[in-house]
């Protein structure tokens, strides 16, 4: 079967336009009860989620990894992350959704905030320092979203900005002794990962990425090591490898078709690339992934 590779969702009544409010809030119960508490793996092209899960239990799948929820916690799911949920009926909390362009255009987010929301994360509530519990901020945000009080848009941005500040500070506390990087390095790294997201399917070289950033490949590699913890080549290859696994598990595209859509002119070269990362051939990875899904009683729904 050919066609769309991975099931993608839009909300805001299926509109791809940025809504009037820069954020959308709803209860986890409200959303998950509609789907019998199980939401199969899917992704959003332009929307990111920030969950506050105050109580209850369940499992979340983020790309290829399944996590048992330990509540209370905050969970960040960036755009284009494959994610699914199997909640118990005791689950309680909120989900905040925003268009990723809203971070710049509607909320004026700093580089530190954009970096914090660029990766999937599960942060225990105990990791948030400050007098006000992080859950209270989410409660206040949701009340403003559902209300009609004067200057509501200002209040929404204020509460959401406070949540973002607490997230950035919690991650900074988690980082602990991680070598410090300069703001310029962090910005360059964020620009690099954004370029990778745009061009990883095209077989773009490190020289291409460096030239787009106005630096040399050596400078790019140094920035990537300092800010991202890996070489620039590793960052690009990890993104290609992630997309390959997504398509092997969640689609019925052939290995040759996946190779082509990821910029490999020769399927054999793609097979060698994948085997080097996974320790097995693409076809074997697909077979084992589907077998594990069947054994768990939740076969992966493939497009």
In a domain, 269, yes or no: yes
Domain co-membership, 94 together with 43:
yes
| Boundary (domain end) residue, out of 123, 152, 175 | 175
Q: What is the mean pLDDT of residues 276-281?
A: 92
Residues in the chain, total: 303
Residue-wise pLDDT tens digits, 208-260: 999 999 999 999 999 998 888 889 999 999 999 999 999 998 899 999 999 99
| Boundary (domain end) residue, out of 105, 140, 175 | 175
Q: Which helix (H) or strand (E) holds 198?
A: helix 183-199
What is the model's pTM?
0.67
pLDDT the model gives residue 103: 77
Domain count, the chain: 2
Count, in order, helices (H) and strands (E) of the chain. Answer: 12, 9
CATH of the domain at 232: 1.10.10.60
Residue-wise pLDDT tens digits, 53-64: 999 999 999 987
- Sequence-ordered strand ranges (E) for the chain: 24-27, 38-42, 47-55, 58-62, 65-68, 73-77, 83-87, 92-99, 121-124
Is 90 exceeded by the pLDDT of residue 295? no
User: Domain limits at 97?
Assistant: 24-175
In a domain, 286, yes or no: yes
Is 90 exceeded by the pLDDT of residue 138? yes
pLDDT the model gives residue 186: 79
CATH of the domain at 37: 2.60.120.280
Is 70 exceeded by the pLDDT of residue 275? yes
In a domain, 300, yes or no: no
Q: What is the mean pLDDT of residues 151-167?
A: 92
In a domain, 148, yes or no: yes
Domain co-membership, 143 together with 197:
no
Residue whose pair of structure tokens reads 């007098």 in the numeric block: 131
Domain co-membership, 76 together with 163:
yes
Domain co-membership, 188 together with 285:
yes
pLDDT the model gives residue 180: 60
In a domain, 13, yes or no: no
Q: What is the mean pLDDT of residues 134-139?
A: 95
Q: What is the mean pLDDT of residues 192-212?
A: 94
Q: What is the mean pLDDT of residues 179-200?
A: 84
In a domain, 166, yes or no: yes
In a domain, 91, yes or no: yes
In a domain, 2, yes or no: no
Domain co-membership, 166 together with 215:
no
The CA dihedral of 89, 143, 152, 18, to the nearest 10 degrees, is -10
Instruction: For strands 121-124 and 24-27, give the pairing.
Output: unpaired
Domain co-membership, 127 together with 220:
no
- The percentage of residues in the chain with a pLDDT greater than 90, rounded to a whole number, is 59
Q: What is the mean pLDDT of residues 95-115?
A: 79
- Band (pLDDT 50/70/90 cuts) for residue 101 is confident
Domain co-membership, 158 together with 39:
yes
């Amino acid at each position: 079967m050919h066609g769309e590779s991975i099931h993608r969702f839009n909300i805001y009544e299926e509109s791809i336009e940025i809504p009037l409010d820069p954020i959308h809030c709803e209860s986890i119960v409200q959303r998950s009860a509609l789907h019998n508490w199980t939401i199969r793996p899917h992704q959003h092209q332009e929307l990111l989620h920030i969950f506050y899960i105050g109580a209850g239990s369940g499992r979340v799948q983020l790309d290829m990894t399944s996590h048992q929820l330990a509540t209370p916690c905050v969970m960040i799911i960036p755009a284009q992350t494959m994610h699914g949920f199997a909640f118990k009926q005791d689950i309680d909390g909120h989900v905040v959704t925003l268009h990723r362009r809203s971070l710049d255009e509607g909320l004026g987010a700093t580089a530190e905030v954009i970096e914090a929301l660029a990766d999937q994360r599960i942060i225990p509530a105990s990791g948030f320092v400050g007098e006000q519990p992080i859950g209270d901020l989410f409660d206040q945000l949701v009340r403003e979203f559902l209300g009609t009080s004067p200057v509501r848009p200002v209040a929404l941005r204020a509460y959401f900005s406070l949540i973002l500040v607490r997230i950035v500070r919690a991650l900074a506390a988690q980082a602990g002794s991680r070598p410090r990087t300069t703001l310029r390095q962090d910005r360059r790294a964020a620009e690099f990962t954004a370029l990778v997201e745009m061009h990883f399917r095209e077989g773009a070289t490190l020289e291409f990425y460096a030239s787009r950033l106005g630096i040399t490949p050596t400078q790019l590699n140094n920035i990537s090591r300092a800010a991202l913890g890996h070489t620039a080549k590793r960052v690009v290859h990890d993104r290609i490898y992630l997309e390959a696994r997504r398509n092997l598990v969640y689609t019925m595209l052939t290995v040759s078709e996946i190779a082509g859509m990821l910029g490999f002119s020769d399927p054999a070269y793609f097979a060698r690339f994948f085997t080097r990362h996974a320790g097995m051939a693409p076809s074997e990875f697909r077979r084992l992934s589907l077998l594990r899904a069947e054994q768990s009683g939740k076969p992966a729904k493939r497009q």
